Amino acid sequence: MNSPSRIGITMGDPSGIGPEIICKALRDCAGPERRSTVVFGNRAILERANDMVGAGLSFADEGESLGGEAVPIVDIPIPEGHGAVKDGAISAAGGACAYAYIAAAVTAALAGRISVIVTAPLNKAALHQAGYNFDGHTELLAHLTGAKSSFMLLASETLSTLHVSTHVSLAGAVHRASTERVLATIRQGHAHLRKLGLAKPRLAVAGLNPHSGEGGLFGREEIEQIIPAIEAARAEGMDVTGPVPGDTVFYRASRGEFDLVIAQYHDQGHIPTKLIAFDTTVNVSLGLPILRTSVDHGTAFDIAWRGVANHVNMQAAMAYARRLAAAQAA
């Protein structure tokens, strides 16, 4: 099982489209990639999805001797005491399953049995119904790994953004844009791109206020908090531009001027990235002791278990995971 290039996929909430898009993505993989991908989920549910979409996959328990094209799976039973899993509906059982899959994958990643975790979507309400009060995968992963903080990167070929804050109110995001947090975000982005092979990454830091505060007329956060972080990063040898007004920085980055934009809050980074590359943007967690990528969409209960879900984003998340695994092994 020990393999520096092996990735693991968590099945997400089984009521949603996770099982389906995993089967479709694995169907389209080359044989060696399929055999080096471990699914953490429920075998019966995954086989049902496999039959539904006609993927023609075969599965073997992780501990078995794998043969041919079999996909290794860590078979995790539906946790007791949460009721039944319901297709296309929020349920405590679905949330409990999603948590169990993540917990098992984190254990494997921390033990070095897999290099990167790829997560299919979970539902926050279902997770809460099951008694796990986390705001999403990133917060859950930080809890399971003991990480003090984490950072959300949205990566695509056209535009990539790393966020100073994510799932907080807009007022909270303003408070979160401290010099320390902005500098920590810059450092994480720089280190990540270096790990992927960029010798001198070009980073741009978005302003928080309109026109980056217009010299203090529209707010002093740039002067008092953001510029000191940029100056500190430059003193450490990083190529950092900013603060650049939010209404121009993403355009400039999409034209190739920057490798990464440091966005100050959730929607500032998510809106342009999803507008430009909705189907191929990958969610990557930085700052954790493990590596994780994810699809950048939800459980899509409205179309779940109909066989119509698009698996392009899962393919992109898996490809980025393999890129990270290769960089880690180099």
CA distances from 272 to 56, 71, 193, 281 (A): 37, 36, 20, 11
User: What is residue 105's predicted lDDT score, i.e. its pLDDT?
Assistant: 98
Predicted local confidence at residue 329, as pLDDT: 80
Task: Name the token pair of 217.
Answer: 């007329």
- pLDDT for 1 equals 39
Q: What angle, 0 to 180 degrees and rounded to 10, lies between the N-to-C axes of helices 312-329 and 179-195?
A: 80
The C-alpha angle with vertex 223 and arms to 217 and 224, in degrees rounded to 5, equals 120
Binning pLDDT at 50, 70 and 90, where does residue 3 land? very low
Provide the b/e sequence for 148-175 (b: ≥16 CB within 10 Å): eebbbbbbbeebbbbbbbbeeeeeebbe
| Both structure tokens of 322 | 């393999």
The percent of residues in the chain predicted with pLDDT above 70, rounded, is 97
Confidence band for 191, pLDDT divided at 50, 70 and 90 = very high
- Tell me the domain boundaries of the chain: 1-150+287-330, 151-286
DSSP string, 294-326: EESS---TTTTTTT----HHHHHHHHHHHHHHH
pLDDT in tens, 281-308: 999 999 999 999 999 899 999 999 999 9
pLDDT at residue 273 tops 80: yes
The answer as to CATH 3.20.20.70 being correct for domain 1-150+287-330 is: no
Residue 31 has pLDDT above 90, yes or no: no
Q: What is the pTM of this model?
A: 0.92
**Rounded CA gap, 274 and 280, in Å?**
9
The hierarchical CATH code for the domain 151-286 is 3.40.718.10
How far is residue 57 CA from its own chain's centroid?
25
Q: Say whether 151-286 and 1-150+287-330 share the same fold.
A: yes
pLDDT (mean) for 75-84: 95
Tell me what pLDDT residue 135 has.
83
Tally of helices (H runs) and strands (E runs) in the chain: 13, 12
User: Which residue in the block uniquely carries the two structure tokens 């100056």?
Assistant: 231
